[in-house]
Amino acid sequence: MLDARAAIVTVGRWLDGKGWAPATSGNYSMRLDNGNFAVTVSGRHKGRLTENDIMSVDADGRSLDGKKPSAETALHLALYSSFPDVGAVLHSHSPAAVGLTRAFPGAYGYLLAGHEMLKALPGVTTHETEVTIPIVDNSQDMAEIEAAITPRLLAAGAPPAYLIRGHGLYGWGRDMVEAERVIEAIEWMIAAELAEMGFREGSGR
């Protein structure tokens, strides 16, 4: 648990430094060796986390130390349940990721194609490929989001990430290092896509 706490505090500062964790947004978690999970507590600024702001829950989301987890802990646990190899889950709130999903209100996925950065995703070895990041509508009911996104994530070829419309990006990996790489790569590609759209509009193409 001590290693997980330190890793989550570090990633919170990193994401805040990127501008991807404004106010108290975002939540992060890691799978523990004993079958439980380390998660961020509710309502803390992620750039100012201390190890006391990391708590543990069981597989049903019950607090094991009397602290209050984020409401979105259920979305983390759904990923751990669906993908036994997942060891860490991150949720970022960048302006680019939120803006992209708001700009395409009818889209239920966004295609990333030809980016060199695609090779940062697990199992991808060439830029000559494409990946569709699923988009699900936001809800205050986590069960609604889980029911909408889980079947799509279990489909063959699904990436280790999805977007919640107007809310942000979820990404995961076998460990915290891989989860960070997934989040950073997808956030970069989204920002690049939006920059390209701006250049094209500016040039009249």
Detail the residues annotated as belonging to a binding site for Zn(2+): 91, 93
d(CA 109, CA 97): 12
The pairing of strands 37-40 and 109-113 is unpaired
Closest CA to 3 of 34, 32, 28: 32
HEC string for 113-172: ECCHHHHHCCCCCCCCCEEEEEEECCCCCHHHHHHHHHHHHCCCCCCCEEEECCCEEEEE
> Which residues are part of a known binding site?
91, 93
HEC string for 51-84: HHHEEEECCCCCECCCCCECCCHHHHHHHHHHCC
Retrieve residue 94's tokens.
């960048």
